[in-house]
């Protein structure tokens, strides 16, 4: 049986649509909705859905906004009490197709070496086109497979071996969990946890695959609506710089920073129209990423919500 874990934070509209799509899904599974301290009517609406749904849904109220990684880790530990033989992290802003899970399980049974899988993830609002089929890590960067391309290109093969997988739809077996029963690093409050996870799996030589016959749809970046664009970019860059420093040697980190400078400057100059302002922010980014070993909720609030970090 698979434990499907859906994290909710003030997102009942998306969460209920995701749950509704799961009512038509085949396979043996139960659902855990982990609410990360929502301040709207999410919990009441989810409870109402559970009251009339035939799905096996368990509501876990975390009582606080712990961020993506810790919120999911708490749900995984809770799910472990029901002894599932596999887990699936599923974004609340996704909708699934009826056979998406059975396709993953069947592939896993036929290919037991692959302990981490993802379905093909198409765009919700342009359903024949792909968000990604996982991706590949290289030199401290990642590249999605088939991003923005028509699904027919991905369907040429039944699966692709990958080295990067997003937290949007992450299917795994219990042996992947760390000794403390967690999956994701809690070093980053928002973002980067999937990149760090994939670095760890690559070091462990754990093979991953995208099963193209399994399909879900994703409302890409719906959780980022209304957020500070530059602050969000800075947050993700800060996460990545710290992640690289903590996972690679000093020479690699130095070279990676040099290679990343023109990319960051190009983006920041476009946003500000000022090379001087872009250079100032880049110097701040390099300084912060050397001084910090984590990016906290307070950093997230200052950068993305309030915009008063700088």
CA-to-CA distance for 281 and 264, rounded, in angstroms?
Answer: 9
pLDDT in tens, 287-306: 999 999 999 999 999 999 98
**Region 1-15 average pLDDT:** 97
**Region 105-123 average pLDDT:** 97
217 pLDDT higher than 60: yes
DSSP helix/strand/coil, 228: coil
- For residues 163 and 137, is the Cβ–Cβ distance under 8 A? yes
CA-to-CA distance for 236 and 180, rounded, in angstroms?
Answer: 26
CA 261, 263, 268, 273 dihedral sign is: positive
- For residues 209 and 114, is the Cβ–Cβ distance under 8 A? yes
% residues pLDDT > 70 (the chain): 98
Q: How much is the pLDDT for 229?
A: 87
pLDDT in tens, 45-100: 999 999 999 999 999 999 999 999 999 999 999 999 999 999 999 999 999 999 99
pLDDT in tens, 160-214: 999 999 999 999 999 999 999 999 999 999 999 999 999 999 999 999 999 999 9
DSSP helix/strand/coil, 26: coil
Strands 169-172 and 116-123: antiparallel
Nearest to 187 by CA among 42, 70, 310: 70
Supply the angle between the helices 229-247 and 250-272 in degrees, to the nearest 10.
170
Q: How much is the pLDDT for 62?
A: 95
310 pLDDT higher than 90: no
């Amino acid at each position: 049986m698979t434990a499907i874990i859906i994290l909710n934070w003030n997102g009942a509209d998306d969460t209920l649509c995701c749950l509704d799509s799961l009512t038509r899904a085949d396979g043996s599974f139960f659902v855990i909705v982990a609410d990360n301290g929502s301040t709207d009517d999410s919990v009441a609406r989810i409870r109402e859905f559970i009251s009339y749904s035939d799905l096996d849904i368990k509501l876990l109220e975390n009582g606080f906004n712990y961020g993506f990684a810790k919120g999911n880790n708490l749900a995984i530990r809770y799910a472990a009490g029901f002894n599932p033989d596999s887990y699936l992290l599923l974004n609340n802003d996704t909708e699934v197709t009826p056979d998406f899970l059975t396709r993953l399980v069947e592939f896993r049974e036929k290919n037991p070496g692959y302990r981490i899988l993802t379905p093909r993830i198409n765009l919700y609002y342009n359903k024949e086109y792909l968000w990604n089929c996982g991706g590949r890590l290289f030199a401290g960067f990642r590249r999605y497979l088939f991003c923005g391309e028509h699904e027919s290109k991905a369907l040429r093969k039944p699966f692709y071996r990958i080295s990067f997988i997003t937290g949007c739809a992450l299917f795994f077996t219990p042996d992947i969990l760390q000794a403390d029963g967690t999956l994701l690093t809690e070093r980053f409050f928002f973002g980067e946890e999937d990149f760090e996870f994939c670095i760890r799996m690559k070091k462990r030589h754990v093979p991953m695959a995208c099963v193209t016959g399994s399909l879900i749809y994703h409302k890409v970046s719906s959780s980022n609506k209304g957020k500070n664009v530059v602050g969000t970019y800075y947050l993700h860059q800060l996460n990545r710089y710290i992640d690289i420093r903590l996972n690679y040697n000093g020479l690699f980190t130095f070279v990676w920073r040099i290679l990343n400078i023109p990319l960051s400057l190009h983006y920041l100059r476009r946003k500000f129209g000022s090379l001087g302002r872009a250079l100032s922010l880049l110097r701040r980014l390099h300084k912060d990423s050397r001084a910090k070993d984590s990016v906290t909720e307070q950093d997230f609030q200052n950068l993305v919500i309030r915009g008063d970090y700088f």
